[in-house]
Chains A and B, each alone.
Chain A
C-alpha cells in the first residue's frame, strides 16, 4: 500500500508542476494573495541594460545601510518612470545597487534617468480649496520653476481666467529643496505623526514671508513634478521651522520625510558597470541554447534507452518528471533564467542522470551476483544512496558559497547559476529518492516471466 501512496504523491506533484508550467498561467489568487506565474528570462536572453551603481564616497567612509535603502527606493521610483515592465532594482553588497532594465537598448538613457537628481518644490496653490488640491495628490502638475523667462510668477488668479484643468495650469513655485535643511518625523501631543521641517536661514526668511501672505492657502509639496502632499498654511511660520500635518502613519510620515530630505539621493552614486545586450543577441542565444538542449537531451535519451534498457526508460521518465518539477519551481519561486542559469539547469540534469546511473549500475551488479530482482532493487538503491547524497551535498555547499560570492560582488550571473543549480540538485535528490525507486518497484514488480520455471531474461530487460 505504501508504494501506491508514494505513487499518488508523485502523481499529485507532477500534476501540480504541469499546472504551473501551462503557458499563460493566470497565476495564483487566494483571497488577497496574488502571484503571477511566468518564466522569468534574464537580460542576456531578452536584451536590456544592467547598470551597477556604487556609492561615490571614499572607500574608507562607511555607507549607512539606511541611506543605501533610501537610495535604492529613490532609484527604483525613477526607474519606474521609464515605463519599462519587470525592472529590478536591488542592493548588492554594502555600497552597490544593481538596476536591471529589460527591453531598453540605450544605456545612456537609462543612466541619465538613474542619475537624475530629484527636484523638490513648494508650490503656491492659493486660489483653490483644500478639497480641490487633494484631488491633485499623486498627479503630475506644471510649475514655473526653471521655465524660460519665468521672472514674473504666473500666479493663478482663478475666477477671471478661463477654467483650465488643475493639471494643465502652470503653478508658481515658492521655494525649492535647496531652501530646505532637514525633515524629520515627530509626534504631536495627541500621538499623531507629523513631519517637522527646518529651512536654511535664507529659506526660512522666504518661507516666513510667503506663509505670512498666504494664511489659509494650500502649499503643495511637489517632488519631480508629482504632488506628494497638500497641507494648508495655518499661520505665518517664523524661525524657519514648520510642520506638515496630515493623516499620517509612521511609515507614510517617514517616507515623506525621506523624500523631503533626499529629493536628491542621500548618497552620491556613480556608475561602475553597464552591460547592454541587444535584443537580437539575446533571442539568438535563447533559441540556440534551446536547440542545443533538445539535441543533448535526445542523445541522452537514446543512450539511456539502448544501454540500460528498461531501467533506462524509467530513468528517462524520472528525468522528465525532474525537468517538469524544476521548471515549475523556476516559474514559481521565481528564478530568473539567464544563460549561465540554463547551463546550471543542464548540469543539474546531468546530476539527476548521474543519480539514476549510479542506482542502475548497482542494480546490475546485484543482479550479476545472482540476487533476486526485488532484493537487487532494494540493495542497489541502498548502496547507491550514500554516494548520491554526499556528492550532491558537496555540490549544494559549493552553490551556497557561489551565491554568497555573487550577491556580495553584484555578479548577478553567478547568483543565477548557483540558484538554478541548487534548485536542480534538490529536485534531483527528490526524484532519485522517490520517483526512480517507486517506478522501478512498480514496473519491475509487475514483470512476471511468462513461464514461471524460466528465470527472467536479464539480458533483454537490463542489458546485462
Chain B
C-alpha cells in the first residue's frame, strides 16, 4: 500500500476544508462573551410556552438593556445575549438575573438555568493569553521532539512537521467552529478553547507515535530510501491509529455528543472532529511533509508548471 504516493491528494483534501473555513473565519468568528465580554442568560419557562423573542427583547429594552438578542434553545428554554450591564443599577439587574421580571411579565414560573456575565477587558485578555499559551506549547513541543529524536538526522524537522500538522488541526477545528457558527449558531467560548487545546495535545501525541515508528525503523533498515521507510512505518502504525482513535476515543466522544448534556455536545463534536483530524494529519500531513522536505520537492513544483499547491 503506497500511502505517501498520494500525498498531494491528501494535501488538497485538507485545503479543501481549511480554505473555506479560513474564509469564513476571516469574515468573523462567532465569538462568545468569554472573549468579547457581555452577558448570557438562559431561562426555562415552566409552562412550556416560551414568549416570542420580540416581546422578550422589548422587555429588555424597557429594563434599559438595549442590545439583547433572544433565541429559543429548546421547547421551554430561551437564551438571551446582551451587554455586560455596567450602566444598569443593582436592583434592575437583580430583577433580570433572578428571572423575576420575566415571570412577572409573561405570567409563568421562570427558572434561571445559567447566567454568565463577563467584562470586556477579561475577554480580550483570555483571547490574548490563549494565543500565547498555544504559542508556548508549540515551542515546547518542537524542542521536546527535537530532543527525543536527537539520534536521527534532521531531528529538528520532526518537531517542525509535528507543529505544521498541529496548525493544520487547529485550522480544521477553527474552520469547524466558523462553519458551525454559520449553520448552527455555535459560539467560540472558553469550552471551545479547551477543546482546541486538547486537540493540540493529542495531535502531538499522535504524531510522536508515528514518528517513533520512523525512528525505530530508520535504525533497523539503514539502507532503505526515506520515502519507502516512512510509508512502511505509517502502514505499521496504521492499525494502532485506527483502533485507538476510531474505535475507542471516537466512540467515547460520540457517546458524549449523543447522550451527554447540552453543554457538552458542541465540545464533544469539536473534539470528535479535532482528534480525527489529529490522527489524519499524523499520517497524511506530518509524515508526508517530512518526505516532501527530505526530497526537497518544492524545487520541482514550479519547474513542472506549479500544478500542485504548497501544503498549508
A-side interface residues toward B, CB under 8 Å? 44, 52, 54, 105-108, 112, 271-278, 280-281, 284-289, 291-293, 295-297, 299-300, 303-304, 307, 339-340, 343-344, 346-347, 349-351, 353-354, 357-358, 361, 365, 383, 386-387, 390-395, 397-399, 401-402, 404-405, 408-411, 413-414, 417, 421
Contacts and interface: CB of A to CB of B under 8 A. Distances in A.
B47 to A, nearest CB: 16
Interface stretch (B1-9, B176-184, B240-248): B240-248
B105 interface: no
Contact of A413 (B118, B191, B202, B260): B191
Given A289-B256, A300-B248, A391-B205, A278 B113 contact: yes
A322 to B, nearest CB: 13
A361 B243 contact: yes
Contacts of B253: 296, 346
B94 A106 contact: yes
B264 A285 contact: yes
Contact of B252 (A350, A402, A417): A350
B129 interface: yes
Contact of A409 (B93, B126, B197, B260): B126
7 contacts: A295-B259, A307-B243, A353-B249, A354-B248, A354-B249, A394-B141, A395-B205
Contacts of B111: 278, 280
A393 B144 contact: yes
Contact of A383 (B121, B216, B251, B267): B216
A411 B206 CA distance: 27
B255 A292 contact: yes
Interface string B193-220: 1100110111011101100110110000
A156 to B, nearest CB: 37
Given A108-B97, A411-B190, A272 B122 contact: yes
Contact of B198 (A272, A300, A347, A390): A347
B104 interface: no
A281 B77 CA distance: 11
B118 to A, nearest CB: 5
Contacts of B93: 108
B147 to A, nearest CB: 10
Contacts of B188: none
A300 B137 contact: no
B15 interface: no
B53 interface: no
Contact of A278 (B114, B117, B148, B212): B114
B151 to A, nearest CB: 11
Interface of B: 42, 44, 90, 93-94, 97-98, 111-119, 121-122, 125-126, 129-130, 132-133, 136-137, 140-141, 144-145, 148, 190-191, 193-194, 197-198, 200-202, 204-206, 208-209, 212-213, 215-216, 236-237, 239-240, 243-244, 247-249, 251-256, 258-264, 267-268, 271
A400 to B, nearest CB: 8
A340 B256 contact: no
Nearest to A352: B248
A129 B251 CA distance: 74
Contacts of B254: 296
A349 B249 CA distance: 8
A387 B208 contact: yes
Nearest to A288: B261
Contacts of B215: 386
Contacts of A339: 191, 261, 263-264, 267
Given A274-B115, A394-B208, 5 more contacts: A272-B119, A272-B122, A397-B137, A409-B125, A417-B198
B255 A281 contact: no
B198 A394 contact: no
B141 A295 contact: no
B117 A274 contact: yes
B146 to A, nearest CB: 12
B264 A288 contact: yes
Contacts of B90: 108, 112
A278 B256 CA distance: 21
A274 B119 CA distance: 9
A288 B44 CA distance: 19
Nearest to B251: A299
Nearest to A387: B212
Contact of B116 (A276, A288, A397): A276
Contact of A350 (B145, B208, B244): B244
Contacts of A351: 202, 205
B88 to A, nearest CB: 11
Contact of B251 (A303, A357, A398, A399): A303
A408 B264 contact: no
A390 B207 CA distance: 10
Nearest to A404: B133
A218 to B, nearest CB: 38
B194 A340 contact: yes
A288 B90 CA distance: 35
B232 to A, nearest CB: 13
Contacts of B244: 350, 353-354, 357-358
B148 A390 contact: yes
A296 B137 contact: no
A398 B201 contact: yes
A105 B112 contact: yes
